[in-house]
Amino acid sequence: MAELNVKEIAEAASAFLAIPFSEIWSHYDREADVLYLSFKKPSRADDSELTDDDVIVRYEAGEVVGMTILHASQRHLRPVG
């Protein structure tokens, strides 16, 4: 079983609570180093945009339904607020 850093995960809670969605599904592809976040299940994105910092924002009927975060392991948590 992988080592679990409980303190680090708990500190990330405030960042998750700042996301304006009540439900979040995630999947991390370690080989590709990509984190997928979905805010609606099921969702069928009909549009997307790639931001300057390698995040793909997915839309369905003009509303954000998910994000794809490229190079996820290279990002560092910054304090919220």
Which residue would you say has higher pLDDT here, 79 or 28?
28
3-state secondary structure the chain: CCCCCHHHHHHHHHHHHCCCCCCCEEEEECCCCEEEEECCCCCCCCEEEECCCCEEEEEECCEEEEEEEECHHHCCCCCCC
| Sequence ranges of the domains in the chain | 22-74
User: What is residue 61's predicted lDDT score, i.e. its pLDDT?
Assistant: 96
User: What is residue 78's predicted lDDT score, i.e. its pLDDT?
Assistant: 61
- The predicted model scores a pTM of 0.82
Average pLDDT over residues 27-42: 95
Neighbours of 40 (CB within 10 A): 17
